[in-house]
Each structure stands twice: as C-alpha cells, then as structure tokens.
Structure 1
Amino acid sequence: MIRKLLAFLGEYKRQTILTPIMVTGEVALELMIPFLMARIVDYGILGDGGMGYTIRVGLLMILMAVLALVFGGLSGKYAAEAGMGFAKNIRSGLFKQIQTYSFANVDKFSTATLVTRLTTDITNTQNSFMMVVRMAVRAPIMLIGATIMAVSINPQLSLIFLAAIPVLSISLYLIGKSAHPRFLDMLEKYDGLNEKVQDFIVNIRVVKAFVREQHEEKKFIADAEKVRDAQLRAEKLVILNMPIMQFTIYTSIIAIIWFGGNMVIAGTFNIGELSSFIMYILQVLISLMLISMVFIMLIISRASFSRIIEALEEEPVLNDKDSDVNLTLQDGSITFKNVNFSYNDDPNNLVLKNINFTVESGQTIGIIGGTGSSKTTLVQLIPRLYDALNGEVIVGGHHVRDYKLKTLRDQVAMVLQKNVLFTGTIKENLKWGNEQATDEEVIEAAQAAQAHDFIMAFPNGYETELGQGGVNVSGGQKQRLTIARALLKKPKVVILDDSTSAVDTATDAAIRQVFAEKLNDVTTLIIAQRITSVADADKIIVIDDGEVNGFGSHEELIKTNEIYREIYESQSKGVNDNE
C-alpha cells in the first residue's frame, strides 16, 4: 500500500532525500551539546580548565546550536516542499483515475466519498508523510544516539529508562490495533455528512421554496452528531497515548534524579555528568514520544491510505484496450441485436430484455414510453456509457467495443436528462462541444438550438458569466444551451434525452424543424414524453418495462400499438379539454 503511494513522489524525490539528511545533521549536533555542557561543568568550572576553556567550549556550543537551527529549518523547508508536492501528485493521479471511471464505477462510489478522498484523505496522507520524513528519521537517530551516550556515562542508571521501552511499545501496539477500524468508520461518517451538505447546497432553491430549512438542519445536525460520536470513539483510544507517555517520562526522571543524586553525594558520579545524563535521558524519552506521535498519526492516516488506494486501484468497468485505434465511424447507422442489460450484471434482473431494431443513418427516431421503462438506459448503450450484458450494439457498421471510447463518443453527442452547465461564460460552455469552434460556428449551433435570441438579450451576450450549474438561466434556456453544445461536436449521432421538456411547444417544434433541415445527414434519437415531439420522426420505438413494444411510424403505431395509442389519446384529450 505504501509503495503504491510513494510512486507519486515524482519530481519531489530530491527534497524527500534531503529532508532526512538535514534531520541527521541537526540530531548529531544536538547530541553533542549535553556532552560539551558536562565538560564545561566538570572540567571548566569545577576542574582545571578555567575561564578560557569554558568560553571556548561555550562558543562551540553556540555554533553547534546555530548550525542545528539551520539544519532544522532546511529540513522543515524540504519536508514541506516534498509533502505538498507529494499530495499534489496523489490528488492529480486520483483525479485522473476518477476520470477514467465508467458510469458503473461512479455508481459504486458516491460523489461525497470521492470528494472526501480527494481532500481530507489526501491531507491526512500529506501530514503523515511530512511527519515521517522528519520525525520518523529524527526520533530513531536521537533515541539510538542518546541511549549510547547515556549508557557510556552511567550504565547502571540507563537501566531505568531501558525498562520503560517495553511498557510504551506494548501500549502503542494495543492502541493502534483497536484505533484503525474506528478511524475508518469516522471517515465513512464524514462521507455521509459531505453528501448531506452537497445535497443541501445544490438543491437550496427547492429547500427554500418548500420552507424545509428546519428539516434539512435537523438532518445535518444528526449527521454531524454521528461524525462527532465516531471521532470521540476513535480519539478516546488515541488520547491514552499522552498520559501513558508522560507518566513513564516523569517516573523515569524522578528515579534518575533520586539514584543519580545519591551517587553524586557518595562521590561516585560528577554533577556535570548527571546533568548531561538527564539531558540525554530527556532526549531518549522525547524520542519515544515522537515515535508514538508518528505511530498514532499513521494509525489515523492508515484509513485514509486504504481509501485512496481503493479509488486508485478501481478498474474502469469499460476499457478500450483491445479496440482498433484506426477505426472511425463511417455513418450514423445503429443496430441492436438481442441486447440484454442489467446494472449489476445479473441475468435474472434485466433492465433491458431482448432489444432488436435497426436505424439507418440520417433517420430521426423517437423513443417513447412510461416513466421507468428504461428509455435512457437504452440510449446510454450507444456511446458505450454502459456495456450490454449480452447481444450486440452496432454503430456505424461496427460493434461499439471495436471503437476507441474517444472515437465513439466524439461522434455520438448526447444531451443528458440532467442538463449540466459549468461556471464560466456561455461561450466557454458551448465550446465544451468543440473547443476549436469559431465564433460563427458557436452562433450557428446556438441558432439551431433556438438559444441565440435569449443569449443576445443578456448585456454581455455570449460572454455572460454563468453561475455554478447555470443557476442564472431557466430550465428551458439550460436545455437549449446543452443542445447547442452537443451540436458543436458535429456528430454522426445526436441523442436528445427528454431535452426539450422544459421548452414550450413552439420552441420544441422550431428545434425539430432545424434538425430536419440542417441535420438531415445526422441520425437523431429523441426521447420524449410528448407525442408531438416524436410524431414527425421517421420511426418511433415504444419501450415498455425494458422491452421494445412497438417500432414504426406515427401512423403505423396509432393503428397497431395499444400503448402508443393510449398515450396519444390521453395527450390529445388533454389538449382538447384545455381548448
């Protein structure tokens, strides 16, 4: 797991290597200072060294302290650069991996958990890395060096702190073993909280329209309490580390001062040696504390490590490794042969069943059916947003799996049911369809989608800034912008998934007329709830409970298909009643 993450060090390996080198220099200098202090006391002050010796050694101690400060500063600088660069690379790698996910992968992970992994989990990993490259190097070197120095001064007194090491080790092991699953549960609770926040912010207009602020507040507080409870459950184990450490340190120091003081009184131990011994023991015990802090940090971050690795190792359900890189769509013909589909690949729970039909290139095909009849699922198989469980989906004369995904999707423009716009200008949003499009092509696509007039009504026209998600345009305007964006791709197949439901019938008719006149060589599939939106189509597919119930022209289906006739009569009756 760690090796997988360390691969993201990339261009920051130099800083990663320099950090422990600087730390080693800092520790080596710090280890010499207590020894020199003992020499000042025992030889310079109480011995024959005199003032000159004391001043020389004192100046050497100051120089060492300054150099240690320089080494410490450099180690902090390099650790920060390496840690932040490491986190940047992981975040970029994870974001890139998420972009390879197919719809099925996205269905597996919620948006909230992916956001948490890209933010909180990576921040935890960054903090752990920075601590490891400094503290995890400093503490062992300091522990070993200070122990050697302390043992060389007085082996008997050294037994006191050596006895403390097993106590601390056992305590840390028991804490770490129990804490990890609790921190994993805490991060999952964070996912739930983030999901509630996201839902509230995205849908805040609906919340206010229905005056449901208090209801949403109660839901948020409930999730916040779950996060708090999970944090308390995890942290109450970790906080045991500090009192155990402090009890061990203070007990060791008291014992050393007692026994060491008696040795000084008995004349078997010098005062300078005792003072330096105490400093070395403090360095040993502080090193143990640092090791425990690193250990605890790794326990906390281990859950984040595993969640990041899980997302990085998630294999896209769809791939085009075996596809022909040179294969291109020759036309917009579409054929479904005995196609079955299930979201969980369960042949006993099919969403689409035995789908068979053929569409010639350039035809306009209407798709109609009741809510939940799997109309959207059907068209999502064409640009290979999902793969059929079995059967063949053929576009442009070849199976969709024969194409590179980019090649296929560049030639199949799909306006999804949920119209999504991004923060930026209207022109920037439209050029998502083709970033190389000229201003004339942008205007032409907007005119075809009946969007040009309302765009020009804005003071800044095509340079008008859209809020997040296009909040400053209406639903119908948003639909027309997404249609224009799709048309800019100049595809061979256009799929409109209920994409004119928010526009009036006159605008809907105008859009269909432009499609018929200017896109007569493009295959167009229109999913609609209104019969009038598909009545002029060359063929109409009637979907009922995941099966093709009828396929023919409007006139043919009126005569032969009961479901289509019922929809037509109910909508016609509604129109007549209104008149």
Structure 2
Amino acid sequence: MKKLFQFLRPYRFAVMSSLGLIFLQVLSELFLPTLMANIVDIGLVNGDTAYIFKIGALMILITIFGIACAIAASYLSSRTSTAFGRDLRRAVFQRAESFSLNEFDKIGTSSLITRTTNDIAQIQQLVMMSLRIMARAPMMAIGGVIMAVYKNPKLSLILVFTVPFIVVGIAIVGKFGAPLFKVMQTKLDKLNQVLRESLMGVRVIRAFNKVDHEANRFKEANYDLTNTAIRVNRIMALMLPLLSIILNFTTIAVIWFGAINIDEGTMKVGDLMAFIQYVSQIMFSLVMVSMMFVMVPRAAASAARINEVLDMETEINDPEKWVSAPKKGGVVEFKNVYFNYPGAEEAVLKNISFKAEPGKVTAIIGGTGSGKSTILNLIPRFYDVTSGSISVDGIDLRHMPQKELRDQIGFVPQKAVLFTGTISENIQYGKEDATEEEIQNSTEIAQASEFIRGLEDGLNSFIAQGGTNVSGGQKQRLSIARALVRKAPIYLFDDSFSALDFKTDAKLREALKNEVSDSTFIIVAQRVSTIIDADQIIVLDEGEIAGIGSHKDLLRDCNVYREIVSSQLSEEEMA
C-alpha cells in the first residue's frame, strides 16, 4: 500500500492544505461544547441575556467557519484522490503495454481489466476517505480527550475502561474480515472473465444453443461473489451495534457519575453537557476509524494486485546498448532457433534455420500445431527464442529496440482485429500520418476498395467494436490494407487469406507482387494455392523443417509437402 502512495507526491501541497483545513474544522468543533457550557453556566444561571446572544453569535460564526473548512477540505481531497486514481490507472496501463504476451498470459486479460478499474477505484476511495475521515478521526479523538480531561479529569477515567473494548472489537472484526476481501477480488476476476467470454462468444453460444449453459456459468460466478460479499458484510456489520452499545453505556456512565459530581458541587451542569459532547466526539471518531477498517483490508488486497502488475518483470526488454538497423533492408534470418512456450516441456520449434530476402516471397506451410504462427510471432519479438538467434539485416533482434524493430514490420495477424472508429482511422493505425491517397492505394492492393465504395460513407464508414458490422473477408482485407500502408521493409501475413474466395485471393496475390518488390514477404498459409508461386516454401512438420524450396522442388523431394498438396489439389493442378 505504501508504495502506491508515491503517486500522491505531485499533490503534496493539496494534501497538506486539506489536512490543515481539517485541523481547523476539528478545532472549531471542539470549541463549541465549551462555549455551550459557558452559556448554561454563566448566561442561564445569571440570567445574562446579552452574554447568551454574544456567545451564541460567536458559535454561529465558528460553525460557519468550520463548515467552510469542511467544504474546502472535501473539495481538495476529492480532487486529489481523483488525480491519484487517474495517475495510477495510467501507470498500470503503460506497464501492461510493455508486457510481452507471456506476462499477459500469466495475469489474464479479465484480471488486468479488473485491476485497472475496480481495484484502483477501491484504492482511490481509500485515499479520499483517508484525507476526509482517517485524518480527522485521530485529531478529533485526541482533541476530545484533552478537552474532556480539562473539564473533569476524574470523570475522564471512564474512557480508560471503554476505549480498549472498542479497539479490541475493531481488531477482531478486522482480523476475520480482511482475508475475505482478497478472495472477493479474485472472484470478481472470475465473474469478469465469464462475462467477457459470454459477450465475445455470443455468436458461438447461440449457434450451439448454449445460452442456458452460459447463464448458469454466470449465475454460479455471480452467486459465488455474492456469498463471499455477504460473509464479509456480516462480519463488518457487527461493528456498528458493538460500538453503539459501548457508546450508550459510556454515556450512561458519564451521566451517572456526572450527576454525582454535580450533586457534590464539584462539577457544573454546563460542564457535564460539554463533557458528554466530547465523549460523543471521541466515540464518533472511533466509529469513523471502524469504517476505515472496512475499507482498508479491501484496498490493501487491491493494492497488492496493483503492485503485482507494476512490479512484474518483463521478459522482453530493450538492450542497454543497442544497434540501429538500416532504414531499408529487410533480410530476416533464423539460425538454429528453438522455442518453448512458458511452462511447456517440449519445444514448439526445433532447429529452425532459413533466410527470407527482399523482393522474394517466403511461404510457410504445415499441419495444425506445427509452429507456423509461432515463427511469425518471434520476428516482432512477441516472444524471445529459447536458443539460437533471429536477425534482421545481420543484427540480432535482441540487440535492437523493440519500437525500431516493429517500425520495419507490416503485420497481419491470424485473427483480424479492427478497432472502433472509421475505416480510414483503422487503416491509419498502420501509419498515423497516411494521406488519403496512400489509404486508397493500400485498399486497392488489398482488394478492399470495391466494398468500401459500396458503403454510404466510404472510408468514413463506421466500424463497430471488434468489426462486428463487416464480414470476415472484409476484416481481413482491411487488416491487410492497414499493414500495406506502412510501406514496410518486412511484411508478415499469418494465414491472412483464409476468409477470401479463390478469385479475390488470386487478385490480391497478383497486386502484392508489385508491392513487395523491394520488401521481404513472409506468409503463413493453409491453402497450397495461396503459396504455390512463392519463391521459397518452408514445410514444417511437428516444429521441424521438413523441406525448403520451390513448389516443384518440394513436390519432388518432400513427402510431407506432397501429402499436403495431394489433399488439396487434383493431379492436373499438381502438375
């Protein structure tokens, strides 16, 4: 928790000002019972109306002053806590942006969302309440004790017996309630995961008539969270009645022994009234502390989850001393590359060696799970190799800054991803300052211009979240256009033609020939027809290279390739 408070440093002045205003508010509240006692013991006893009005007016002014301080303190604390939450969210988001795919897999997307929203909201709420309540409670309690002792030291001994009961009660409730708050946040992660999967997979769920199944999954996760929350609240609910009982018995004791003192002439009525108010203020301060005990354990659990994100070491980092790659080039070379996914015992890729050069198309084909997409994911350093090396223009990827490396790559993922916004904005994601002419050129090459012209707003047509208002083939073509607008030295296409019909596929490959004349073009494909004209075809079999060469060479020399081709093409097409 303490580590996160460093985000309050830029707001030190606002914090100190808020504490100062709260201190003045507490002083004004502590002064009022004494003034009221003077009205009773001096004004009423002596029948001095002028004195009563004079002190009454002073009390009104002090009350107005206290209210003004409270409003200003609330404003500063709210503004400070909101800014604190904003800065913390930004830090978590920026940290998450630097993670490799391995770190994302460890934490989980749904958990990251929960930590960035709900967990930070819990800590933000604690900061605001700390500035408004936690800071005020000890000031009020200490001030109340001082004023109570000042009024009647002997009667103040009652507090010596009652306060420890309150402290012990709060400690016991906090001990049993605190562990459950961490459990609650974990179960909230689970609820978010179920909800996210249900919303994203709504088409599949309905297609397989699994609506009731998903509803039950959500119900179970929801009830699990609810039951834990009820257990926590039952424990925390014990605080208020416990404190109320102690407060009432304390008040009874004060009145009882105070009446005896008044009868003996050692205490005045006004002082007893003031003493009762000071005891109430002390008890109310302890009630406020108990409220914080409800918030602190949950915020502490949230803080631990936030710190886990901020402290997580990224496995892929930029080197301290790095080498810049040439602006133009694009020679990609694998040398004896082995790769294991984190936690996997067996290597996905084994002894992979090949070179992809500018002006040539390098295609990768193989069975499902043979490691085709993994090869492409290693080139932008989404993962690092387990052993061996990958270089661009002779420079090991690990010796280059990630941004500089990725600036040279036009990447089309296996699953086409579009963002909320216009078509133009989605394509400009590949090149922020792309002109309209460059955008149109990229859509022409990607065979997307025809369907874009058919839309009412053309390039300004709106893309819904996840691209749900366009077809799979349209999404793929827009993803390809986004990559092509970069004019990159290296293009990586991960099975990016699978949703295209054969005619569009052929036209797109023909258009790409001119586009990649100076670039390195590496394509992963399932269809032989897509890669049949490639300059170099790499055949993978269970993570190993079974053959490298042209279509004709592989038909002659590679049994694995021959089996793949024969399963897709007729004898005439093979010839």
Matches of 1:321 and 1:135 in 2, distance apart? Answer: 47
Structure 1 residue aligned with 2:254, among 253, 256, 269?
A: 256
Kindly state the Cα deviation for residue 315 of structure 1 after the two structures are TM-superposed: 2.1
Kindly state the Cα deviation for residue 268 of structure 1 after the two structures are TM-superposed: 2.8
Q: Is residue 338 from structure 1 mapped to residue 336 from structure 2 by the alignment?
A: yes
Q: Is residue 19 from structure 1 mapped to residue 12 from structure 2 by the alignment?
A: no
User: How many pairs were matched up?
Assistant: 573
Please say if residues 538 and 548 of structure 2, whose CA atoms lie closer than 8 Å, have aligned partners that are also in contact.
yes
Structure 2 residue aligned with 1:470, among 467, 472, 496?
A: 467
Structure 1 residue aligned with 2:490, among 490, 493, 501?
A: 493
1:413-492 correspondence to structure 2 within 5 Å: 413-492=410-489
**Aligned AA (1:19):** S
In the other structure, the counterpart of 2:40 is 41
Please say if residues 329 and 395 of structure 1, whose CA atoms lie closer than 8 Å, have aligned partners that are also in contact.
no
TM-score w.r.t. the length of structure 2 is: 0.97
Kindly state the Cα deviation for residue 350 of structure 1 after the two structures are TM-superposed: 1.4
Please say if residues 137 and 289 of structure 2, whose CA atoms lie closer than 8 Å, have aligned partners that are also in contact.
yes
Kindly state the Cα deviation for residue 551 of structure 1 after the two structures are TM-superposed: 1.1
SS in 2 for 1:33: helix
In the other structure, the counterpart of 1:296 is 294
Please say if residues 319 and 398 of structure 2, whose CA atoms lie closer than 8 Å, have aligned partners that are also in contact.
no
In the other structure, the counterpart of 2:165 is 167
Kindly state the Cα deviation for residue 325 of structure 1 after the two structures are TM-superposed: 6.0
**Aligned AA (1:42):** D
Matches of 1:22 and 1:437 in 2, distance apart? Answer: 53
Q: Is residue 565 from structure 1 mapped to residue 565 from structure 2 by the alignment?
A: no
SS in 1 for 2:479: helix
SS in 1 for 2:299: helix
In the TM superposition, what whole-angstrom CA distance separates every residue of 1:127-167 from its partner, at most 9, and x where no partner exists? 10011112111111110111011111112221112222222
Please say if residues 256 and 278 of structure 1, whose CA atoms lie closer than 8 Å, have aligned partners that are also in contact.
yes
**Aligned AA (2:126):** S
Please say if residues 323 and 395 of structure 2, whose CA atoms lie closer than 8 Å, have aligned partners that are also in contact.
no
Q: Is residue 152 from structure 1 mapped to residue 143 from structure 2 by the alignment?
A: no
Please say if residues 186 and 234 of structure 1, whose CA atoms lie closer than 8 Å, have aligned partners that are also in contact.
no
Range 25-34 or range 210-219, more displaced: 210-219
1:63-142 correspondence to structure 2 within 5 Å: 63-142=61-140
In the other structure, the counterpart of 2:267 is 269
Q: What residue ranges of structure 1 are gaps of 5+ in the alignment?
A: none
SS in 2 for 1:319: coil
Matches of 2:303 and 2:173 in 1, distance apart? Answer: 19
SS in 2 for 1:46: helix
In the other structure, the counterpart of 2:31 is 32
Please say if residues 191 and 222 of structure 2, whose CA atoms lie closer than 8 Å, have aligned partners that are also in contact.
yes
Kindly state the Cα deviation for residue 184 of structure 1 after the two structures are TM-superposed: 0.6
Matches of 2:87 and 2:207 in 1, distance apart? Answer: 42
In the other structure, the counterpart of 2:396 is 399
Kindly state the Cα deviation for residue 263 of structure 1 after the two structures are TM-superposed: 2.4
Change (3 A) 1:325 1:7: farther
Please say if residues 332 and 362 of structure 1, whose CA atoms lie closer than 8 Å, have aligned partners that are also in contact.
no
SS in 2 for 1:354: strand
Kindly state the Cα deviation for residue 208 of structure 1 after the two structures are TM-superposed: 2.6
Moved over 6 A (4+): none
Kindly state the Cα deviation for residue 387 of structure 1 after the two structures are TM-superposed: 0.3
Matches of 2:446 and 2:230 in 1, distance apart? Answer: 55
Matches of 2:531 and 2:281 in 1, distance apart? Answer: 81
Structure 2 residue aligned with 1:385, among 379, 382, 387?
A: 382
Kindly state the Cα deviation for residue 10 of structure 1 after the two structures are TM-superposed: 5.2
Matches of 1:218 and 1:58 in 2, distance apart? Answer: 64
Kindly state the Cα deviation for residue 326 of structure 1 after the two structures are TM-superposed: 3.9
In the other structure, the counterpart of 1:7 is 6
**Aligned AA (1:43):** I
Structure 2 residue aligned with 1:517, among 514, 518, 521?
A: 514
Please say if residues 479 and 502 of structure 1, whose CA atoms lie closer than 8 Å, have aligned partners that are also in contact.
yes
Matches of 2:212 and 2:175 in 1, distance apart? Answer: 41
Please say if residues 9 and 86 of structure 1, whose CA atoms lie closer than 8 Å, have aligned partners that are also in contact.
yes
Matches of 1:377 and 1:239 in 2, distance apart? Answer: 53
Matches of 1:568 and 1:431 in 2, distance apart? Answer: 38
**Aligned AA (1:448):** I
Please say if residues 328 and 407 of structure 1, whose CA atoms lie closer than 8 Å, have aligned partners that are also in contact.
no
Structure 1 residue aligned with 2:174, among 173, 176, 190?
A: 176
SS in 1 for 2:354: strand
Structure 2 residue aligned with 1:352, among 349, 352, 364?
A: 349
Change (3 A) 1:456 1:28: same
Please say if residues 342 and 389 of structure 1, whose CA atoms lie closer than 8 Å, have aligned partners that are also in contact.
yes
**Aligned AA (1:20):** L
**Aligned AA (2:27):** A
In the TM superposition, what whole-angstrom CA distance separates every residue of 1:279-312 from its partner, at most 9, and x where no partner exists? 0000010011111212321112111111111111
Range 321-330 or range 24-33, more displaced: 321-330
**Aligned AA (1:410):** D
**Percent identical:** 39
